[in-house]
Structure 1
């Protein structure tokens, strides 16, 4: 059945690899990428059509406009039924003082609130995939159920990070662990000590990824039946554009020095991370709703990431921050 998968962060890095994998491996998938310009439409598609919707993920107004356009195109039949959303875009700044047009801290806006707004505005447009059991599939010793219909769930995937663990094994000493505070504090600039430093910017990043996992758990409780939601961790992937806002030395290290770590178990190549992401998005990697997938397998996220009180508090705050303007 032809269907639509909406994806952010598809124009570079692991997202580009994942997008090309999805198009190559799923002939029924129509990929709609959300991008600042038309760069996402230039994917290596092998003749397949990729459409795009422009949006600045640092602006909730722009995200709302993009999601509204996607809804309209689905309703008008311009796009096939919606079966997936991959929230892969992410940013990391060299400080915790970068403010977007909504007056909110930009790391929190892009890594948490933009995904939340897409999920909430698209959730009633997701359709599960109808399939049939084989006519001769044996179900019990003396009965067959020919052509029994069942539905495979639609799937939402949010890219997170193992920096949310906050330990040397996962952060390699490069990114401070999360520093959880009230969402009303986290959503504003200056939430962390010495907010003008790179350490504060990286703390904002790891904290935003912890927040994303909290929301995945809350989505699993609240979203309608027939929609699965999964958090995906690619591991440490040097050579991507994540450090594009960092200082020159850090950018050089990410591009030229740290890629050698992919020869060790401590890092993941961009190609492997993209393939893993495609596996999760297409359902090849089986994972129940609300789960955490570490590269190619379901795993447990950090102990701190399981906190229903924080999850509910963050949900309420995200609903307030993304509410339509009066």
Structure 2
């Protein structure tokens, strides 16, 4: 797999941080903030091959240490290849010690029928299984103290106060069902696609709770909710009217308590990643403070079932 070497930088990088979803939106703002606030970081961005070179060059401008690894997060085989490449680079000493992973990438489709290359439902694959697989394949290369951060969403609450009625609440099913297309009624509709999104974010919280139980001491895992952030291109798969509203109308909500601007959300995510926002392992950080996620999100039996399913679904890709 081809990857970009780090740009020439003024500050010697002392640790590596792997990040998905850094190309645009919250992730791009967070990546810029991390590099400015922690110049000893080598930021390794995971991006599609056609954008990774440009992204690493743009983020590396000004002397920051940035490189990339190519991956399609909807493909578990591609995630496995990217993780293997990262491991090899760490083992060869091309990267400083690994101290963090940020699973910020997320996707929302206009249906619940979109498949990844392995035939699994794409929302669940990108938002849940890809994070699980990255953490599992990199956890023995993480050097304590380390922090894993997974971006979640307050749509997992499923009430008007948290989603303004724009996204249906989660509809939990067996993880094996959620990993397949057609898990929700009328799977060809936008409602089903948005339900798949909120349910995947609930699953991501379950994953964080289970990882907190299983990761070695010194490796913390935290869920971060940026709140409603208009203009991030999350709904890029939506129809023209919805895209127009998200890009041109909804940003006005950032002037109210109901929404957060992209730059502010990126700063909040960066603070969580860098440990400036204190949070014990397994915590849910709502913007800038530790809070309780939904009551439904605390379910050890469900979390164990999800773990077993994720292990099984990615088993052929972890060896």
What's the TM-score, normalizing by structure 2? 0.93
User: Post-superposition shift, 1:27?
Assistant: 1.6
1:247-285 residue CA offsets vs partner (Å, 9 max, x unmatched): 111000000010000000000000010000000000000
2:213 corresponds to 1:221: yes
Q: Name the residue aligned to 1:19.
A: 31
Q: Name the residue aligned to 1:109.
A: 125
2:282 corresponds to 1:287: no
1:215-268 residue CA offsets vs partner (Å, 9 max, x unmatched): 100000001111000000000000011010011110000000100000000000
Q: Structure 2: how far apart are the matches of 1:220 and 1:323?
A: 21
Matches within 5 A, 1:2-17: 2-17=14-29
DSSP 3-state at the match of 2:46: strand
Q: Name the residue aligned to 1:54.
A: 70
Matches within 5 A, 1:1-326: 2-37=14-49, 38=52, 39-45=54-60, 46-128=62-144, 153-324=145-316
Is this contact kept in 2: 1:34–1:40, CA < 8 A? no
Is this contact kept in 2: 1:16–1:43, CA < 8 A? no
Q: Structure 2: how far apart are the matches of 1:59 and 1:270?
A: 28
1:174-205 residue CA offsets vs partner (Å, 9 max, x unmatched): 00000000001000000000100000000000
Is this contact kept in 2: 1:11–1:43, CA < 8 A? no
DSSP 3-state at the match of 2:235: helix
Count of residue correspondences? 302
Q: Structure 1: how far apart are the matches of 2:241 and 2:32?
A: 31
User: Post-superposition shift, 1:42?
Assistant: 3.1
Is this contact kept in 2: 1:92–1:205, CA < 8 A? yes
Q: Structure 2: how far apart are the matches of 1:14 and 1:23?
A: 14
Q: Structure 2: how far apart are the matches of 1:199 and 1:179?
A: 12
User: Post-superposition shift, 1:124?
Assistant: 0.4
Q: Structure 2: how far apart are the matches of 1:257 and 1:164?
A: 24
Q: Structure 1: how far apart are the matches of 2:181 and 2:304?
A: 22
Q: Structure 2: how far apart are the matches of 1:177 and 1:36?
A: 30
DSSP 3-state at the match of 2:16: strand
Larger Rg: 1
Q: Which runs of 5+ in 1 are unaligned?
A: 129-152
Q: Name the residue aligned to 1:137.
A: none
1:273-312 residue CA offsets vs partner (Å, 9 max, x unmatched): 0000000000000000000000011110000000000000
User: Post-superposition shift, 1:47?
Assistant: 1.5
Q: Point out 4+ residue stretches in structure 1 off by more than 4 angstroms.
A: none
Q: Structure 2: how far apart are the matches of 1:280 and 1:236?
A: 17
DSSP 3-state at the match of 1:43: helix
